[in-house]
Structure 1
Amino acid sequence: MSPLRLLRTLLIVAAALALGACRPQGPWQLNRIDGLMPDLSFAMTDDRGRPVSAEDYRGKPVLLFFGYTSCPDVCASTLARLAGAIGQVPGGPDAVTVLFVSVDPSRDSAERLRRYVGVFGPEFIGLRGSDDALDALVRRYRVTYAYGKPDADGQYDVIHSSGVFIFDGQGRARLLAGPNDWSAPIAADLKRLLEGARTPPAS
C-alpha cells in the first residue's frame, strides 16, 4: 500500500472513531463536540490579504473547513452542502460565517481563494497562513493533511480531513459535521444554535 493510500485509510478510520465517540445527544442531529475541542483561535490572512484572527468572527456561528482550491471533488461538494444548509437558516448568509482554510497555501493565493469561495456565497471566506500558522491550527483541531507526489506538470493532490467544525457565536466548539451529513441536519442544528443565541438566560 502506498503511503498516500495508507494515510487516506487512516483518515477514514480516525473519522469513524471520532464520530462514534461523540454521537448526537437529544435533538441535535450532528455530532456534539462540546468540551472535546478548544475554542476557535487562529491568526491568519483572509482572501483579501488582511490579517485576521478568530475574534474578528465572533457574534455568529462559524463553520470551519480545511481544504484547497485544486481539490477535485470533496471541497466543492462540502462547500455546496454548507451553502445549501445556510440557505435554509433564517437570515441566511448574514447569520453564519464559513471559514475555508487552505492546506495548500503555496498554490492558493488570496486572489485564488477569493474567486473560489465567492462562488458559494458572501458568507464564505478563504484563509491562508504561513506553514507555522497552518500547522498550529491543524494541530489544535486534530486535522491531518499530506501532499501527494507531483505529476509531470508539477500538480499534486492533497489528502485532508473532511469534517466541518461548527462554533457558536462565542467561539466555542459545539458540533462536527461529517462527510455523510447533508444540508438538512446541518441547517437544523444551525437554527438551534441561532435560537440559543437569541434566547435570554433564565433569571
Structure 2
Amino acid sequence: MNPKRRRCLQAALLAATVAAVGCDANKPPFKAIDITGADYARTLALSDPNGQPRTLADFKGKVTVVFFGYTQCPDVCPTTMAELAEVKRALGADGAKVQGIFVTIDPERDSPELLKAYVGNFGPDFVGLRGTPDQLKATAKEFKVFYAKVPGKTEGSYTMDHTAGSYVFDTQGRVRLFTRYGSGSKALVDDLKLLLAEA
C-alpha cells in the first residue's frame, strides 16, 4: 500500500473512532444504576404459577424488569408493580416489549393461585415466579437480594424485610440496570426507552 493511501486509511479510521466515541459521549446517561457487565443477576430459573419452569431466556427480545417481593407486602411491592404497569402504558405500543417479573420471597404463603391472581392485578402479561426455599435462597444469592422474616405482633404472623429495587435486563437477557425503590415511573420510562432503542 502506498504511503498516501495508508495515510488516508489511517485518517478515515481515526475519524470513525472519534465519531464512535462522540456517539457514546452524547448518549444520555441512565437514571438508574448502570450495572452492565455485572457478574451477578445472570441466571434466573424458577417456576411460574402453572408449574412451568421459566428462565431469563424465555423473555429474550423484551426488556425485562425483575422485582423480588411478596403478595402481603403493604406498600413497597404494590407500589413498584403499579409503577411498572404505569411505565408500560406510558410507552404505548412499546409497552408490549417490556416484561414484568415478580419473584416471591414468601413461597410459604404465596401459593401458585395467590401469586397468579396478584400479578394479574397489574397486567395480563406480568409473570409471577416462585420456588422451593432452597431455590429461592440460591436465586437471592445470585441477585444479591436480601430477605428475612420479621415476626408479627400476633403468634404465627410475620412480615418480610427485603431488598426494595428492581433489576432491568436488555432484550438480549443481559443485566443492565438496578433501579431503587422510589425513583419514580418517569425515570424508568426514560431508561427503558434507551434500552429499547438499542435493540
Query: Which range moves more in the overlay, 152-161 or 57-66?
Result: 152-161
- Compute the RMSD of aligned alpha carbons: 1.6
| Paired positions, count | 173
What residue is the counterpart of 1:194 in the other structure? 196
What residue is the counterpart of 1:72 in the other structure? 74
Whole-angstrom distance in 2 between the partners of 1:118 and 1:93: 16
> What amino acid is the match of 1:159?
D
Query: Which range moves more in the overlay, 148-157 or 121-130?
Result: 148-157
What residue is the counterpart of 1:47 in the other structure? 49
Whole-angstrom distance in 2 between the partners of 1:116 and 1:37: 31
Q: Which structure has the greater CA radius of gyration?
A: 2
| Superposed CA offset, 1:6-42 (max 9, x none) | xxxxxxxxxxxxxxxxxxx943221111122435312
Is 1:37–1:141's contact at 8 Å kept on the other side of the alignment? no
CA apart distance, 1:92: 4.6
Whole-angstrom distance in 2 between the partners of 1:152 and 1:174: 41
What residue is the counterpart of 1:29 in the other structure? 31
Whole-angstrom distance in 2 between the partners of 1:90 and 1:174: 22
TM-score (norm 2): 0.81
Unaligned runs of 5+ in 1: 1-24, 198-203
Structure 1 runs of 4+ aligned residues shifted over 6 Å read none
Distance change in 2, residues 1:148/1:39 (3 Å): closer
| Superposed CA offset, 1:84-113 (max 9, x none) | 112111425421111100000010011101
> What amino acid is the match of 2:142?
R
> What amino acid is the match of 1:64?
V
Is 1:40–1:167's contact at 8 Å kept on the other side of the alignment? no
CA apart distance, 1:152: 2.9
What residue is the counterpart of 1:170 in the other structure? 172
Is 1:46–1:128's contact at 8 Å kept on the other side of the alignment? yes
Q: What are the residue-to-residue correspondences of 1:51-200 with 2, within 5 Å?
A: 51-152=53-154, 154-197=156-199
The structure that is helix-richer by fraction is 2
TM-score (norm 1): 0.80
Whole-angstrom distance in 2 between the partners of 1:48 and 1:153: 32
What residue is the counterpart of 1:15 in the other structure? none
Unaligned runs of 5+ in 2: 1-26
| Superposed CA offset, 1:40-80 (max 9, x none) | 31221102221222221111111010000011111001111
